[in-house]
Structure 1
Amino acid sequence: MTSAADDDDSRLFRDAIGPVRPLRESTPPPGAPKPRPRARMAELDDAAAREEFRHALESSLLEAGDVLSHRDDRLPARTFQRLRRGEMAIQDELDLHGADVREAQELLRAFIAHARDHGLGCVRVIHGKGLHGTAGPFTSRDAPVLKNLVDRLLRQRADVLAFHSAPPAQGGTGAVLILLAPPARRR
């Protein structure tokens, strides 16, 4: 009896709906987008530039026994000679032993700014000789990391007239004497 009732219901449903036609097949949903094309030549150029930078950096790195030395054109040669011989009074000192690169960079910048703001003329920074250093992020050889950091940062500052490794009695190649421009001469 259920089959006659099912057939009767189906016929009533088809009569109520009317004629039907099959639906078109729908297009499938879009798949995952294709990956963007890679700029392979740009990637190769970047890699080559990083490698060239690393080689240039390695060739200009200071070794443990190398002397730090720089003189701005504004400073007379005679004054620079006095700095080299350690004949200028050290007014303040910063010891970077035990600092990592980021901390040493922040300490050095703050120290130079403090010395400049307080009108100090000659200061000493102890960076160590770098005998126990390890290879840096861009180098494959051991190099005195803090010594090279100090050299690079001091060369970039307009308020530094000159710097030179300290005489042996004042720390030798493990320290640097820095001569700051007087307030009137600062750019």
Structure 2
Amino acid sequence: MSKNRPRSSETKPTKAGTGLADLASLRDALKQSAAERERERIAAAKAAREAAADAEIFRREIGHVAPIAAAARAVHGRTPPAALPLQTQRDEQAVLNEAISDEFDPEVLLDSDESLYYCRPGVSQEVVRKLRRGDWIVQAQLDLHGMRRDEAREALAEFIRDAVKRGLRCVRVIHGKGLGSVGKEPVLKGKVRAWLVQKAEVIAFCQARPHDGGAGAVLVLLQPGLTRPGAARQDRGDSAS
């Protein structure tokens, strides 16, 4: 008599049953996804219809619209003028117009031996001696030949102003010996000395040496403290300060 094996109270699922369950789950997921896409499509279509309806209402309310005609504009082809340094011009004009009198007599301030010379109070006589010896390099010159008195005065004022701005120390002014003037009198010679004495920038001057113009020219030494900042000094010899 054979022995009977005990039966299990639960039946284990077969592989076929498991596969059918998976397919059912997949089918449900696909249906759910399709339904979601359909809802989104319907919502988008509804929003588009509403937007189109709103636009149509707006067009009916506004009516026909035409762009505004733009007014004709003139085209300026010219280049605007450069800005004028008015304050600089006023300052320079003030320098040129500063009081240098024709009535001033420089003889009271001039020393003389074989030639006239001048140095501002407080300036060493050694400075003048070096100027007369030619120890200072002449860095610029002004020729007043052929100028009338007023022209010469303005030219001298502008020349001194420009020399100071450039940082020059020693310059030459040629006034001539007066051989071509009426009475053979050197008119500009005395005027130049009178004008130079009145210029604060001038600390000394003397008659030029023969090969530099002699009695027809004067060597002028300018104040170093009045030069613009950074200006190059191209002199030789000791400082006049």
Q: Which residue of 2 aligns with 1:172?
A: 214
Q: Paired residue for 1:88, among 125, 136, 142? A: 136
Q: Verify the 8 A CA contact 2:201 2:226 in the aligned structure 1.
A: no
Q: Which residue of 1 aligns with 2:194?
A: 152
Deviation of residue 184 (structure 1)?
5.3
Matches within 5 A, 1:1-187: 67-134=115-182, 143-183=185-225
Deviation of residue 131 (structure 1)?
2.0
State the AA in 2 paired with 1:163: F
Distance 1:184 1:101 in 2: 27
Distance 2:185 2:133 in 1: 26
Structure 1: give runs of 5+ residues left out of the alignment: 1-53, 61-65, 136-141
Q: Verify the 8 A CA contact 1:119 1:183 in the aligned structure 2.
A: no
Distance 2:188 2:155 in 1: 12
TM-score (norm 2): 0.45
- CA RMSD across the alignment: 2.8
Identity of aligned residues (%): 44
What is the SS of the residue equivalent to 2:115? coil
| Larger-gyration structure (1/2) | 2
Q: Verify the 8 A CA contact 1:92 1:123 in the aligned structure 2.
A: yes
Distance 1:132 1:177 in 2: 22
Q: Verify the 8 A CA contact 2:176 2:216 in the aligned structure 1.
A: yes
What is the SS of the residue equivalent to 2:182? coil
TM-score (norm 1): 0.58
Deviation of residue 146 (structure 1)?
0.9
Q: Verify the 8 A CA contact 2:144 2:173 in the aligned structure 1.
A: yes
Out of 114-123 and 67-76, give the one that drifted further. 67-76
Deviation of residue 87 (structure 1)?
2.0
Cα distance, 1:100–1:108 mapped onto 2, change above 3 Å: same
The CA deviation string for residues 124-177 of structure 1, in whole angstroms up to 9 with x for no partner, is: 001101122226xxxxxx531111110110011111000001000111010100
Cα distance, 1:131–1:69 mapped onto 2, change above 3 Å: same
Distance 2:144 2:226 in 1: 29
Structure 2: give runs of 5+ residues left out of the alignment: 1-102, 109-113, 229-241
Structure possessing the higher relative contact order (Cα contacts under 8 Å, 6 or more residues apart): 1
Distance 1:151 1:82 in 2: 19
The CA deviation string for residues 50-87 of structure 1, in whole angstroms up to 9 with x for no partner, is: xxxx9x97x98xxxxx8341111232111110101222
- Runs of at least 4 residues of structure 1 off by over 4 A? none
